Amino acid sequence: MPIVNIQVTREGTTPDRDSVTAEEKAALIKGVSELLLKVLNKPLESTFVVIDEVDTDNWGWGGLPALEYRRKVAAQKAAAES
Amino acid sequence: MPIVNIQVTREGTTPDRDSVTAEEKAALIKGVSELLLKVLNKPLESTFVVIDEVDTDNWGWGGLPALEYRRKVAAQKAAAES
Amino acid sequence: MPIVNIQVTREGTTPDRDSVTAEEKAALIKGVSELLLKVLNKPLESTFVVIDEVDTDNWGWGGLPALEYRRKVAAQKAAAES
Amino acid sequence: MPIVNIQVTREGTTPDRDSVTAEEKAALIKGVSELLLKVLNKPLESTFVVIDEVDTDNWGWGGLPALEYRRKVAAQKAAAES
Amino acid sequence: MPIVNIQVTREGTTPDRDSVTAEEKAALIKGVSELLLKVLNKPLESTFVVIDEVDTDNWGWGGLPALEYRRKVAAQKAAAES
Amino acid sequence: MPIVNIQVTREGTTPDRDSVTAEEKAALIKGVSELLLKVLNKPLESTFVVIDEVDTDNWGWGGLPALEYRRKVAAQKAAAES
């Protein structure tokens, strides 16, 4: 009877995509359900998985909107390596 | 002070609809709030209800995306009855 | 395939209890599941209900911990009626 | 490592807007993250904030959809003051 | 930046245990984080996993408390096989 | 009508404490509610805040249980500085 809620930012894994594809969602559902079967013996038919896609403006990290935080971290990294 | 989060797939209850109607949402809100009043004496004004509609691609059951799982279960049932 | 999360404060409905009883939880589970069957034709076997009991210190309303807010509202009401 | 989920109705703070602006979301992210740093010493880089905007039809209070509940409360207030 | 909430009933995977072990929790955390790395290229350090253990009385399925529903399904299965 | 769910690890802010204190919870409730009043004009009486304390074994980051991840990061930092 597990319920797995997966929250991810609404982004694609390649530049030409702007969100998670149906195939990627199916892979997440399959992977999580099989993990719960393997680790906790939970039958697949008793596992719900819900994927919640969140706009990047609606996701905060480091006190900043997600994309702004990423730029900040990338700039810090570049400065440290220069 | 209850909070009730209801997650349902974004589907209609009749073929011509593709999501829950405003009337159905109002019926869920009324029903859940009155249930909490009846069972736990929670005043209606202290109960929040939030309905979250989830795309069927984003909902997994049985290790599969929802619609695929339904087709699988329907096929199994048909096979068992033939 | 609905999932219903019910968050309530960890309190009893009578002075001699300090939390929701098993019978009350069963009544909530039954009532919510049947409501989803009635309003959205969701079969009982496809509905999960999870009840989350929250300590009153961990619940805030009106900018205050729950019990403090209740005392404030009760005092305001008494003052208004005197 | 805090996670903060903020659920709000999808509404603007001024008549010409129909949802929360990017600036307001950034202010919520900043404010919550700094609050957790101040109160619980949680570093900003260890705090996730997710803002979930909910359609007003999907939000219930007082056993009614949100906007209907607001109209009811406003009418009661007006009647009490007349 | 994924957040994964895993809700499971508070039960052991063997008769002598009454809840998920630390090792099993670590396996779930590892498995889910690596799945998100593999499917969506999410770095491990940007993934939060929270495991929520729920008392069986607090979990409903089929309109019944979890353990009662299991007994009902087991009885139906036994009857169908006799 | 905002709902704010704050998930934090069950830890104290000083060595002699093993969880968040009532005062710290009250400060979080006050701070978040006032933030929503300031940024989105949400009246305090329409804001619910729920604080969810999670055992450190039940929280994963970087593919590891929280405390193990912290030790790993601390060791990496020490190695980088030596």
Contact D5, F4 (CB under 8 A): yes
Nearest of C78, C61, C57 to residue C70 by alpha carbon: C61
Give chain E's radius of gyration (CA, Å).
17
Q: For the residues E44-58, what does the mean pLDDT come to? A: 97
Confidence of residue D1 (pLDDT cuts 50, 70, 90): confident
Amino acid at D29: I
> Is the pLDDT at E82 greater than 90, yes or no?
no
Q: Three-state SS string across B24-47, please?
A: HHHHHHHHHHHHHHHHHCCCHHHC
Q: Residue range B67-72: average pLDDT?
A: 97
List of residues 6+ apart from E71 with CB closer than 8 A:
none
| Secondary structure (3-state) at C80 | helix
Verify whether residue F15 is a known catalytic residue: no
Counting as low any pLDDT under 50, the low residues of chain F are none
Note the ipTM here: 0.96
Dihedral over alpha carbons A6, C7, C9, F44 (to 10 degrees): 80
For the cut 90, the answer to whether the pLDDT of residue B82 exceeds it is no
C63: nearest CB among F22, F34, F51: F34
CB pairs under 8 A between A and D: 51
Q: List residues of B whose CB lies inside 8 A of any D CB.
A: 22, 25-26, 28-30, 32-34, 44-45, 47-53
- Model pLDDT, residue E1: 85
pLDDT at F82: 87
Beta strands C48-54 and C64-65: pairing type?
unpaired
Tell me what the mean pLDDT of segment C28-48 comes to.
98
Q: Give the type of residue at F59.
A: W
pLDDT of residue A82: 87
Rounded distance, CA F49 to CA C66, Å? 9
Number of domains into which chain E is organized: 1
Decide if B65 contacts A44 (C-beta within 8 A).
Answer: no
The pLDDT, as a whole number, for residue F59 is 98
Q: Which of C56, F30, F50 is nearest to D31 (CA)?
A: F30
Q: How confident is the model at residue B1 (pLDDT cuts 50, 70, 90)?
A: confident
Closest residue on chain B to D60 (Cα): B49
The first and second tokens of residue E33, run together, are: 């984080």
Helix, strand or coil, per DSSP, at residue A62:
coil
Instruction: Indicate the residue of D25, D30, D32 with minimum beta-carbon distance to A58.
Output: D25
Mean pLDDT on E17-36: 97
In a mutational test of the C interface, the residue from F50, F53, F54 whose CB has the highest number of chain C CBs within 10 Å is: F50
What's the pLDDT tens digit per position in A60-72?
Answer: 999 999 999 999 9
Phi and psi at F32, nearest 5°, equal -70, -40
Q: How far is F74 from chain D, CA to nearest CA, in Å?
A: 14
Instruction: Provide mean pLDDT across the span C45-54.
Output: 98
D3-49 pLDDT, tens digit per residue, is 999 999 999 999 999 999 999 999 999 999 999 999 999 999 999 99
* Residue range of the domain that includes D57: 3-81
| Contact: chain E with chain C (3+ CB pairs below 8 Å) | yes
Least Cα separation, residue B16 to chain D (angstroms)? 20
CATH number, position D75: 3.30.429.10
Q: Which of C52, E49, C3, A66 is nearest to D50 (CA)?
A: A66
Q: Counting Cβ atoms within 10 Å, is residue F57 exposed (0-12), middle (13-18) or buried (19+)?
A: buried
Asked whether D and B share 3 or more beta-carbon pairs under 8 angstroms, the answer is yes
Buried b (16+ CB within 10 A) or exposed e, F2-14: bbbbbbbbebeee
Query: CA B42 to CA F54: how far, in whole Å?
Result: 27
Longest dimension (CA), chain D: 53
Overall average pLDDT of the E29-35 stretch: 98
User: Hunting for tokens 């030596």 — which residue is that?
Assistant: F82
Q: Supply E17's token pair.
A: 């245990």
